[in-house]
Structures are given as structure tokens and as C-alpha cells.
Chain A
Amino acid sequence: MANAKIKSSWQWAAYGLLGCATVVTLYPLLWVVKTAFSPSQTLDPSPNPLPNAFDFTHFSHLFTAAEQGAHFGDYFMNSLMVALATAFLGVILSCTAGYAFSRLRFGGQDKGLALFILTQVIPGVVMLIPLYLILEKLRLLDSLMGLVLCYAATSVPFCTWMLKGFFDSLPKEMEEAAWVDGANTWTVFTQIVLPVSRPAVAVAFLFSFMTAWNEFILAATLLNAPAKYTIPVALQKYIGAYQAAWGSFAAGALLASIPVMLLFFYLQKHLVSGLTSGSVKG
């Protein structure tokens, strides 16, 4: 009896906490919604974050303001293509390395892994000009392919590191059984390890996707043809030297966050177990 009472009071505390957190989370976000649906182009600084109008001009403007025949729909498709390609490429390129660092034993292994982790701390702003020169040599300027390669390369170290952590946490028994049966490394990896690693692969996929989805400066520097622009580049055009069209920007930002939200929603379960290495139950 007493126990149940304690339990229910804890539940109320949990509801209270989550309710507060929800309010704090939504309050600034409602402003984005309000700005997107207001007919004006300015941010309203009043404390009331609820939309006072439901006006779709900014949304329709996104799809009608065509430049060389391209509008928000095209940018959306470009971004989607680039982000998906980056995510697939990032995962494919990094999964074997993650497995090697986790299960194979080879000389200089720790140094190789350290190299990967260290790339995470490189400040991105310094890389622009050298990347431009390299892509020029590869003849990949002004192409979405070049962009995908750059994004995938930046996400590979993180994915490798994360996958390695996950593989470490897998029990070795299954693999050992397969070894005894005479399977080679490749078979063990593809037939036994990968199928149970879905959570980690999902996280790697999501992170690569986000890298590509939100990046602005590299895309703006490398792409010249408006038909190839990605969403961040197209949205940034609303921020001018003297004034910003916040209404259109907010509308675009809202639309841009939908795929990410869907992805989060869809991968939620995997995210939880994929991000915490060593947390998978046997």
C-alpha cells in the first residue's frame, strides 16, 4: 500500500518534470511556427508565441519563386538525394573498418583508431580552400557528387568509431561458433554481425544524414548552378546584407525539419540502444 503511494507520487513528479520540459522545449519552437505562418517577414518579439494568423504566403512563395526553373521542391530533392547518398556511403565505407578495429588484431591498430577519432576535433572553418583545390583536381566542383564525397568523408570517422563501440559490446560466442564451423571473416561479418547491428547502423545512418542535411558553407562555395542548390543554400538566400526575410526562412526551416523528425521518429528505438555502446542486452 505504502509502496504504491510512493510510486504514484513519483509518477506525478515525472509528469510535472516532463510537462515543464515540454513547455520550455516548445516555447521557442512555436515562434518558428508563428513566423512561418505570419504574413510579414519579421520576427515578432512579443512574449506570446502562438500564431496570430494562418497565412500560407511564405510556403507558396517557396514553391513559386523559381530561379532558372528551380524552386524549393527541387532543393528539397537535391538535399534528400545528397543526404541519403551520404548516409548510405558513410555507413558502407565505415562498417568494415569499425569491425576491423573491434575484432581483428593488427599492428598499429590503436594508432589508426586514434587518427579517426582525432579528425572529429578539426575545426571545419579551416578546410574550405584546401577542399576546393582537391575537388578541382578531381573535377568535382559544382557537382552534387563532390558534395556527397566531402560529407561522407567527414562522417566516416564518427561512424567508424561508433560502430566499433557497438561491435565491442556484442557477445563473441556467436562469432566463435561460426569460426569453428569454418566460416571466413567476411561471412561472419555479413551473415552474423551485421544483422544484429541494426541499431548502430541506424545511428550511423542518421548522423551522416544530418551532417549532409544541415551543412551550408561548403555547399554554397562548391555549387554554382541554382538547379543544384541544397536546402541550406536556398534558405540562406533569404538572409541578405541589409535585411532578412524571416518569414520565408522560417517556412523553409519548418519544411526542412520534417524529414529529420520523421527519421528520428522512425529510428527512435534504434537510437536509444545504438548510441550507448556496451548497453545491449545479451
Chain B
Amino acid sequence: MKAGRCLALMMGLALWASAASAAQDMVLWHSYRGAELKALDSVVKSFNNEQSTIKLETISIPYEAMASKLEVAIPRGHGPDLFIYAHEKAGAWSANELLSVVPQAQAQWAQQNMLPQAFKGVSVGAAVYGYPLAVKSAALFVNTALVKEPIKSVDDFGALKGKPGIYPLVYETDSFYFHAPWFLGLGGSPLDAQGKVALNTPAFAESLDLVRGFQERQWVPQEVTATLVNNLFNGGQAAAVMTGPWFLGEIKKEVAYEVRPLPKLANGQAATPFLTVEALWVAQTSANAQAAHQVARYLADASSAQIRLHQGRQVVPLASAWRGDGEREIPQDLLAFYEQAQVSVVMDNRPEMSLVWEPAQLALQNVLRDGVPAQEAMAKAAHRAAAIQKPLPPAQSPTVYLILLSLLVLAGMAYLIRGVVRINQQGRGKQSAVGWLWTLPAMIPTLLLVILPFVFSLGLAFYAHDKGSFTFVGLAHFKDILFAQTFDLLKPLSFYYALAVTILWTLSNVSLHVAIGVLLAVALNQKGLRLSGWFRVILILPWAVPNYITALIWKGMFHKQFGAINAVLNSLDLEDISWFSSFGTAFFANLCTNIWLGFPFMMVVALGALQSIPSNIYEAAQVDGATPSQQFWMITCPNLLKPMIPALMLGCIWTFNQFNIIYLVSGGAPDNSTDILITEAWRWAFARQGRYGYAAAYAALIFVLMLVLFQLQKKVNQWQTQK
């Protein structure tokens, strides 16, 4: 087996690293931090001390890269032996053959000793794939200084409304994860038995009306983010917050709190949150899967559970751990979470679950931000659900395409040979060889590490991906995209709509970048200006600080109730604006952020261009009596254009492909209307059940578009030089 050989190589390297040790090395990947990490470390340490045949080593991987890293590394034998990840991928990864099945004896042990929901979370069909380590669900954190009465039903929140500036309940209202307790408690289920999104149900309508009521009575604030939950609870402005056990570490010492179960709904049922199971999985390509299962059992079992419970402050699903070890007291706040977990629904681990979030969140945002009636919002959600779970195109025979491809390759070669022959006939052979030789150092890495991977990924556009297998579908994706087969031509999600937004996005950004950049450059270029060095350095800063964090700060500034921008508007006696609930304002928010990020580049370029204008032209103009504004329009502007063309071109390309800002600031809101092509492509690949082929077709089309743009620029350049 090829994978086995690769792993042997890796193990060899690991052995070399740990020199003298004769023990077998085993690697565990995780993305834990803080207390959870410390607990894991001490569990691993005690495991390594207790036996000498296996040496377990942990490696922390950023959460954001974990899934994609596992998906590329495990099939090729470069993955870990064990890894910790949430259970929601169990369905997809068992189908992809990433996971090794838990042996019968261990599976039985898990079934008998674990919380039933946790066991269900790691099972796919009849097979068991993981060892539950911790469970996470939402529960109620109550500020005991503000709340004296128990909160038994949702109506009890009404009694907490009274003091100004204090919200009875704060939670992330826009997120379906936190909406789920109402929906599930009212008898809803996000997926039906066939794995279709089932949001068009009375339970969903009822739950939407419920939260609309919360908001109308001002029991909950609007546009709540995790940061806001944190700030309002710690600032004593929230009587209760609904969030998960990860919040325990964020509460300030001076806030007295208790964790309580979620209240009952009108139908008498308790609100029922989603349960997420963090489990330990054995990679299918582990060189010693059998031993890895032994290790996993140890890490999930009693002695480890005690450490993870007390030191890591994790809600462990091992029932016996909650009976205590006779020494330490069971932490009450964690126990409350364990009790809540018993009244919870484990999140569906079928891959189709990933298709629920987008339509559900769409409906929530429509109801809460735009005041759309529940039925209308649900119709929109159903429409979106249908669009993103459209069936895969039928498989096609690749023969015709192979013939076409080989013809294409032949034509390409003929073209090349003809070119070479012609050059030789013209007697430029030697000269040309020298020229190409000079480009070689740049050509080789570009061909190998840029063009080759790109051509490879273009090939993907002809395949459809489903649960790890690829089928050849020919041009089906391109047809679907270009003829807008599944979407309304002029609505979000259609290629043409996204293209129009992208063009608007690019043009407005680049023109404002240039206008602001030139203006500032002219100001900086004034003779005798003091502090100009300081201004220059400060104005370049947005370019230097990583945009990941500044984009999020801008998003915070546009928050409806707590953002700085609405605070300024308020102080000017203007009304609050809900920035992310209409296309215009959301686009404006994105635009502001990107202008802030992008003007320094144009400013620097313009400064260079300004300094290249010979000063004697200005002197001559002054002699002729031209005013400064005349000088600006008649001399500066025309002379700036040409040297700035390369920068303009670059600016267009960068803005066209600007992923981070759209993704982090508006996130496509409202209704994906502010998504540009690149974020839309990303959604198909990573947020909508891994339609890699479809996303690759998007990428190919983006490339073709840029090609056109480039040709256009060349024409403009030629026209410029002719003039």
C-alpha cells in the first residue's frame, strides 16, 4: 500500500527526531487552547508515563485550517494517527474513508458508558467512528444580582424587562445554532429522513414568530455577536445570556452568575439546544490503527475524564465521571451543562446538515433585521435550500472530451513548433534562444508551482464532487452557471448578478482609491509642508497591519446598536442605520473598509507619479497666471494618468479578488446580495457541501474574465502610445 509506505517514511522521520527512544511514536492533532489544552497535555503526559511502548505526541493546528488539512493529509498518509474534531464531519469523513471504524468491544463500551446523544453523534449507520471527549451545548447564564426569580418559561423574561439599559436575554439571534433551542423545542427537525432540508414546517414558523416577539418587546438586542454577548453580560447589561460552556472562562470575577437549564416553551416542552460532540478519531491511514484505538480508549476513559473535567473544565460525556472521585467537588456550572446536554438534540452528522445553515440564517435575518413576515421568510429559505441542494449533473462519458483535449494539445504543439520554425527562418533563432534563457529562472518556478497547479484545478471544473467521489460531468457546471439554470438571472446566487456586483465593487473601489490617493499625494507634495514625513508614515499604516483583524474592527464599527458610526450619527441627531440589512448600506460598509485598506497604495504611487512631473511646466504655468486649481486640472491630472496605469491594473485585480473584506465585513448580507464572484465560489466549495467542481468552474470563469480585462488594458495601452 502506497499510503502505508509514506507513513512508514514519516514514522522513520519521527523516530529520527526522537533519537534514542525505542517506543513507537503516535501523533495526535487538535486545536485546543487554554485550559482544554493544559488538560490534554496532562492526560497525554500521564499516558506516556504509564507505559513505554507508545510515545504519544500532540500537535496543535489552527482550527480554521484543520478540516482541509486533514482532508489532504490523511488520504496521502501524511496525517496524524489520531485527531480531535467536532462530530459534524463524521458522515462526510466516514464516506471519504478518512476514519477508522471503532472495534466492536470499544464501541460497546462507548454505548454503555457515554451520554446517549454523544454516542449517536459519533455513529454513522450501524458503525461507530469516534470516542466522545466533550459535549457542548447552549444553556442559560443568569446574572444572579439581576435575577432573583427562577426563569421557568420564556414568558418569565418579560418580568426581567424593566430597568432601562438592561436586556432580559442576550444571545446571537441571527445565528441558527442559537435559534435551534426554540425550533427543536417546538418539535422541529432541520433535516428529514432523506437528508433534505426541512425548514418549511410549522415548527420553524412558530419559532420565527417567537423570536420576532422577543425583539419587538425588546427582550433581546439586535444584531448580536459573540463579542456583544460577552460585553453585555460582563457589563451587567444582560440579565441572562444563552451561550455555551466556552463562555465560562470569559466571565469577569465581579459578575455573580449561575448556569441554568433553558426555559420551557409555550407547548410545555423545554427549549432544546443542539449538542456538538468533540471526539477523538483514528485516521484510517494510521500505521498502527489497532494501537491507536487503544490510545483513544485511554483518552476517553475515566482517569482522563477526571482530568479533562476538573482541569480542562470540559463537559465530559462519560456518565461515571459525574459521580465524583471522592476527592474533588463536581463544579456546579459544568454539571448544569451536563444536565442541559441530557435535554438536547445531537446535531445531525450527515453531510447534508451543512446545507441547513444558509437558508435558516437567511430566514432569521429576514425576520429579525428586515421585519419580513415568517411565511415569506420561509418561502425565501425554501427557495435557497432548493437552489443549493440541486441534484448533481448526470455523469458523462469523457471520450469526446478526451479527443477534444488531445486535439487541443496537438494544436498547441503545432502552434509552438510553427512559431519556432518561423523564428529560425527569420534568422532570429540564436537571439531568441538567448532571450528565453534569460527568462528561465523566472519561468521554471512559475510553470511548476503556479501554472501547473492551476491547470490541474481547472480540470476539476469538469467533475462533480459528492462525499469524496468525483464523477466526470463535462461542461455541465459551465452550462449551469452561464445559463443561470437554477437561479433567477438577476438575483443573488446567479453568476451574472455576482458579476455585476463585482464590477460595481471593483470600479467604485479603484476610482475612490485613486481619487483619495491622488488628493492626499497632492497635499503631501506641497512644498514646505511640515510633518510630511510623519503623515506619510501614518497614512501607510492600514497597508501594514494584517487585514484580518482590521476588517473585523470595521465590522464592529458598523454595528447597529453599539457601533461607533451609529454613535456619531446619533450625536448629530440622525437616526440609526441598520447597516447590513440592505444592499446599499452593506455595500457601503464593505466599500469604506476596503477604501481604508487600499488608499495608501494609490497614494504612494501617485506621490511617485507627481514627482516625475517636471517642475518647469508648473513654473511656466505660473508665469502665464494659472491658478492652483487650473494647474491641478490642466497639468497634474493628465500627467498622472500614464505612470499610474500599472498600479491601476494591479488595483483592479486585487479588488476583483478581494475575499477577506466581503467575507469578514458583510459576509454577503443581506441575502448574499453583496457577495462577489470570489466569495460565491468559496461558498460553493466550502460552505455548501463541497461542490468543488462547481467552484472550480467559477474560478475558471473568473480567470477568463480577467483575461478579457487584460486584453482590454493592452488595447488601451496601445491606443495611449499611438496618441
Contacts and interface: CB of A to CB of B under 8 A. Distances in A.
Interface in B682-721: 682, 685, 695-696, 699, 702-703, 706-707, 710
Do most interface residues of chain A lie in helix, strand or loop, or is the interface mixed? helix
A167 to B, nearest CB: 12
Given A96-B441, A273-B608, A279-B609, A243 B226 contact: yes
B453 A100 contact: no
Given A14-B523, A237-B62, A107 B568 contact: no
Contacts of B596: 24-25, 28
Interface in B437-477: 438-443, 445-446, 448-454, 456-457, 460
A175 B706 CA distance: 36
A245 B647 CA distance: 37
A11 B525 CA distance: 10
B61 interface: yes
A150 interface: yes
Contacts of B440: 97
A37 interface: no
Highest count of chain A CB atoms <10 Å: which of B65, B557, B604, B650: B65
A28 B554 contact: yes
Nearest to B177: A242
B347 to A, nearest CB: 13
A195 interface: no
Interface size class of B (residues with CB under 8 A): 35 or more
B538 interface: yes
B706 A121 contact: yes
B434 A233 contact: no
A199 to B, nearest CB: 9
B42 to A, nearest CB: 15
B135 interface: no
Contacts of A250: 549
A94 interface: yes
Interface string A85-113: 00000001110111111001111110010
Interface in B64-80: 64-65, 68-69, 72, 76, 78
A123 B678 contact: yes
Contacts of A278: 612, 642-643
Interface string A184-200: 01000000000000000
B439 A96 contact: yes
B643 A277 contact: yes
B635 to A, nearest CB: 15
Nearest to A159: B442
A273 B250 contact: no
Interface of A: 6, 10-11, 13-15, 17-18, 21-22, 24-29, 31-32, 40-47, 49, 67-68, 92-94, 96-101, 104-109, 112, 114-134, 136, 141-142, 149-150, 152-154, 156-157, 159-162, 165, 185, 214, 216-217, 220-221, 224-226, 232-233, 235-246, 249-250, 253-254, 256-257, 260-261, 264-265, 268, 271-281
29 contacts: A17-B523, A22-B538, A25-B596, A47-B564, A100-B439, A101-B439, A104-B438, A107-B419, A119-B450, A122-B703, A125-B681, A126-B454, A126-B460, A126-B696, A126-B699, A128-B72, A156-B446, A220-B69, A241-B63, A241-B86, A242-B136, A253-B546, A256-B546, A257-B546, A264-B544, A272-B604, A272-B607, A273-B611, A275-B647
